[in-house]
Structure formats: structure tokens, C-alpha cells
Amino acid sequence: MSRRTTILAAILIAALGASSCSTVGKLNPFGKKDKAAKELAGEGQRISIIPPDQLLAPAAALKGVDFALPPVQTIAEWPLPGGTPEQVVGNVSAGANLSVAWRKSFGQGSRRGRYVTAPPVAADGKVFLMDGDGRAVAVDARTGAQIWRTGANPGDNKRDKVAFGGGVAYADGKLYVSSGFRNVMQLDARTGALGWRTKTSESIHGAPTVAGGRVFVVALDNTLLTFDAATGAPSWTYQALAESARILSASSPAVSGDTVVAAFGSGELVAIRAANGNDLWNEALSRASRTSALSEIRDIPGRPAIYNGDVFAVSHSGVFAATDLRTGQARWTLPVVGVTAPLVAADVVYAVSKDGLVICAARENGQIYWIKNLNEGFKSKRKGGVLGVGGQKQIRPIWSGPLLSNDRLLIVGQTGQMVVMNAKTGEIQKRIELKGASVTSPIAMGDTVYVVTQEADLIAIR
């Protein structure tokens, strides 16, 4: 496995120190006592909400049973990280021929201490991105030609020389940028001119969500920050439990009406009144494991999705849950370890596990239609060293997505491929060589699917 893959693996399994955006602490799962054997949870711990003997397997009752997918529709824009405030898009008509139209570099790719983790957004004929140096970039959606980009260290923050993370969101002709350089900005989407900049006390590793005249973003210290979209004036904040160990990629809040749902590194899924910051409910998506110390990382790095009165989210601790938006009660749970956002599609919801399992579950009750292993046949081995000793151990590739396009699931990963699956059966129909690893889900606008690689290339697929 290449050095590139090693860097990507670090993005998904390293732990963060809470003191600085440029300080990355490495997680050591070895030689660490497993706390799951304790029957009682002490202060700051989480009690499992999944029975330890629950199995992840297709339901016999659903064998051969059909289900409905959303109708195929062309979408005019993808303005937010999850496409819409609820972070549910549907079945897009983009990428019909699955042909790579072009690829263009948009800046600095991932390298030591700097990572391309921000999902792209698209609107007004442009695609907006963030490179490994934290620069916001606008490119022409048809050609990939660069229109504008912000300067180095866009926060002009002397405290942090190197930062990563953050993201972009579009609303009403403005681009909103969150940054590892400890600030949130509003830019003119046409020219890149600065509208306002508000400094924050902590780095921000997740992209913002803009809805109802407010900007919502989660900071490194597990605080949900809100700002007035027009002026940048800070509004209310919500403080979740502190958590020193988390995934380097981070979630964006989902908004439905006057309710905002945010996911935190502590494993908390919280519903909050958007108008005043009052919390409505708090659910911990935690599952202690007797076999994996990594379950102690309770983070929910994937975006939550809101659909038909339920919230869907997947945690790194091993909980894939549907939660009632009004009451906060879990409607069903599955033992899935995930680092990406689930995809809700009419009768079903899809999730991709960290181990490469694609799960298709019934939206109403969580029963599983099918499971497909994208890493089937993968064999771990060491590269380099002498006589098989030393060197770097290959890890299982991480997959991101899916995007539902023309009744097909499009999933990208560290292998440099896009996997195309039949959304009804899970059958792999095609593998497209992208020649670049990706850890962010594909997006779509018009007839085009866009993929961002770790080399800071934007790939257009039509």
C-alpha cells in the first residue's frame, strides 16, 4: 500500500487532541484494557443501546421482497454538504453514462498534517471546494476551470501555521466557509470577496450547514456554534460532552423546520431548537465492544439525515440507528461501525461500514434486505521491510458514499475506484478507475457527478 493510503488511514482512525488544530494525537489500540467488561457505566461513560448478541444479517422474511426507490430526478444544485438542510437528496439523474469527462486540480492535496476532508458543494454553475491548505476554491461546473480562490491561511491567524478540516456551504449567492484556522467566513460566491469573518476559539473540522438565516457548525471541542448568516454575529451555542479521542473528519448538522440535529465526537446525537438553542433530546449512539478498543472512539463523523420524522445516523462506536425526531426515542438499531453518512431512499436506508460492508435496511424497522462486502478478497500484508518483517501494514480501504444515481449506488474509496452497485440487489455492476483516492462522498448537479480526491483533483462524471 502506498504512502498516500497510509495518510488516508490516519485521517479516519487517528485521535485528536483538543488543544490545537495543528496537534494530532495518535490512537494506540494495543496494550489498552477494554472497559466494555464493566456492567455499570461510570461518569462520562456510555451504556450500550444494542444487545451484545445482535447479529448483522439479511432478514429471511425479506428474501425476494421488492422495495421502492425515489423517482429519478435532475437536481439543479447541491448547496450544502448533505445536499439539503435535512441531508437527504433522493435519486439523481446525473452520471447517466458513468464516463469521466474531465479531472482538474484545484489546489494542495493531502500531505503531512494537511488533509482534503471537505465535501464539495455546487450551485450557480460553480463547484466550491476546499483544498489541503484550507483555501476555498470556486471552479466552473462545466469545465473545471478555476474562477477564484482565497489566499494562504485564509483566517490570517498567526496562532495556527498549519490547519486542516472545515468546509463550505452555499446560500443566496454567498459561500460560507468554516476552517481549521479557527474562523467562519462569508464570501461572495461570484468573486470570492470577503463579506465577514468571525473568529472562533477552537478549530472547526466539519463543514457548515446554512438554513433559516443561520450558520451551524460543530467545533473541535464538541460545541455547536451558530452565527447570523447576514452579519456573522455569534448567536447561541450548545456544549456537548468533552471527548479527547475522535475521527479527523467531522459531521455537519441537519436542519428540519425549527429543529437542528447535531452529531458530536462524544457519540451524542442531539436535537436542538434552532431559534434559541434549547435542547429537545439527547441520544448516545454508543456500543461497548469486548473485542475492539477502537469502539472507545464514540464519534459520529458522518452527517445525520432527517426523513419523514426520523433521524438516521451511524457512529464509530458501532450503532446505526433510526431515532424519532420528535421524542428522541430509538426506533431501531443495528451493530454497524461507520464513518460516513447514511443514505435514505424512500423505503430503505443504506449505510457503508468502516469494514466495507454496504447494508440495505428497511427504513421502517431496520430489517436488512442485503449486505455486500466491498473488501471481499482483500488480504492484509506488509509492504517493505526485510523478509516480511517491518514495513507498513496494509489496511482495509475505507469507502465513502453512497450517492443514489439512476437506481445505482455510487461509492468511492481509497482504492482509487468508484464502485457502481444495483440499488435493489447490491450486485456490483461496474468499477470505474478514478486514479485517485477519495474519502468524501460524491455529489451531483445537473447531469454531472463530482468526486474529490485526496490529491485535490475534482473529477466530473457524466
**CATH at residue 403:** 2.130.10.10
* Integer Cα distance of 450 and 81 in angstroms: 13
Question: In sequence order, which residues have a C-beta less than 8 Å from that of residue 180 and are 6 or more positions away?
Answer: 21, 22, 134, 160, 163, 164, 165, 166, 203, 204, 205
Contact between residue 329 and residue 323 where contact means Cβ atoms under 8 Å apart: yes
Average pLDDT along the chain? 84
The answer to whether residue 41 is domain-embedded is: no
CA nearest to 155, candidates 180, 129, 123: 180
| Contacts within 8 Å (CB) and 24+ apart, 378-381 | none
Residues in the chain: 462
Residue 119 has pLDDT above 80, yes or no: yes
Within a domain: 422: yes
Report the Cα 426 to chain-centroid distance in Å. 22
* Cell 496537534, located at residue: 23
Please name the residue ranges forming H helices in 54-131: none
Output the CA–CA distances (angstroms, integers) from residue 336 to 15, 32, 204, 312, 356, in the order listed.
20, 22, 26, 12, 11
Asked whether the beta carbons of 406 and 386 are under 8 A apart, the reply is no
The least confident of 196-200, 243-247, 318-322 is: 243-247
Q: Is residue 37 part of a domain?
A: no
The grid coordinates of residue 402 equal 453512497
Asked if 329 contacts 301 with a C-beta cutoff of 8 angstroms, the reply is no
Residue 20 CB coordination number (10 Å): 17
Q: Name, of 41-50, 106-115, 232-241, the range with top average pLDDT.
A: 232-241
Helix (H) or strand (E) holding 7: helix 3-13
Residues 6+ apart with CB under 8 A from 187: 136, 150, 174, 175, 176, 177, 193, 194, 195
- How many C-beta neighbours within 10 Å does residue 61 have? 9
Q: How many domains does the chain have?
A: 1
Give the pLDDT of residue 158: 57
For 156, residues 6+ apart whose C-beta sits below 8 A from its C-beta are none
Local structure of residue 3 (DSSP, 8 states): H
User: Which three three-digit cell numbers place residue 112?
Assistant: 503531512
* Mean of pLDDT values over 267-287: 92
Q: Which residues on neighbouring strands pair with residue 413, listed in sequence order? A: 399
**Cα 91 from Cα 69, distance rounded (Å):** 8
Q: In what order do the strands lie in the sheet with 183-188?
A: 166-171, 174-179, 183-188, 194-199
- Among 3, 20, 50, smallest CA distance to 295 is for 50
| Residue 392 belongs to a domain | yes
Which pLDDT band, with edges at 50, 70 and 90, does 169 fall under?
A: very high
Contacts of 349 (CB under 8 A, 6+ apart): 305, 312, 322, 342, 343, 360, 361, 363
Confidence of residue 271 (pLDDT cuts 50, 70, 90): very high
* Cα dihedral value 170, 198, 212, 190, nearest 10: -30
Please tell me the pTM assigned to this model.
Answer: 0.85
pLDDT in tens, 7-66: 333 444 333 333 333 333 333 332 333 333 333 333 344 444 555 556 799 999 999 999
Q: For the chain, percent helix, then strand, then coil, each to nearest 5?
A: 5, 40, 55
Residue 381 belongs to some domain of the structure: yes
> Do the domain assignments include residue 327?
yes
Cell numbers at residue 396, please?
Answer: 482495509
Q: Which residues contact 341 (CB under 8 A, 6 or more apart)?
A: 82, 87, 251, 302, 303, 304, 305, 314, 441
Q: Which residue, 246, 170, 233, 149, is CA-closest to 203?
A: 246
Q: What is the mean pLDDT of residues 244-257?
A: 80
Asked if residue 388 is part of any domain, the answer here is yes
Q: Structural domain of residue 309, as residue ranges?
A: 3-32+54-461
Instruction: Please state, as a whole number, how many other Cβ atoms lie within 10 Å of the Cβ of residue 69.
Output: 15
Which residue intervals of 154-272 are DSSP H helices? none
Average of per-residue pLDDT across 229-255: 86
Judge contact between 441 and 412, C-beta under 8 A.
yes
Cα–Cα distance for residue pair 230/366, rounded to 1 Å: 41
pLDDT at 433: 94
* Most confident of the ranges 8-22, 160-174, 288-302, 315-329: 315-329
| 402 φ, ψ (degrees, to nearest 5) | -95, 170
Q: What is the pLDDT of residue 153?
A: 60
* 153, part of any domain: yes
